[in-house]
Amino acid sequence: MPTKKYKPIVKTPRLISKGKVTPKRRKGKGFSLPEIREAGITIDIAKKLGIYIDMRRRSKHKENVELLKKILKEKQN
């Protein structure tokens, strides 16, 4: 059975020079390390669960942390 891959919701870069200030949301490349740590998941467990990790991201969004906790509960049951 293939493992389902999970991706986070991230903000797009702000285009202040174009007059657009509010960033939109889109699917990101992977969860940030602070999000994974706050959810109580190690990097090894995240890889085994099929969770993408983006080493470049430093932000922490509570929606993504809640999604990670939900994924962890699903996989434990």
Cα 37–chain centre separation? 11
Rounded Cα distance between 36 and 4, Å, is 17
pLDDT in tens, 31-64: 999 999 999 999 999 888 888 899 998 989 899 9
Residue 9 parent element (H or E): strand 9-11
Q: pTM score, two decimals? A: 0.76
Residue 19's pLDDT is what?
66
Average pLDDT, the chain: 84
DSSP 8-state class, residue 56: T
What amino acid occupies position 65?
Answer: V
| Confidence (pLDDT) at 1 | 43
Distance CA 42, CA 28 (A): 20
What pLDDT is recorded for position 53? 92
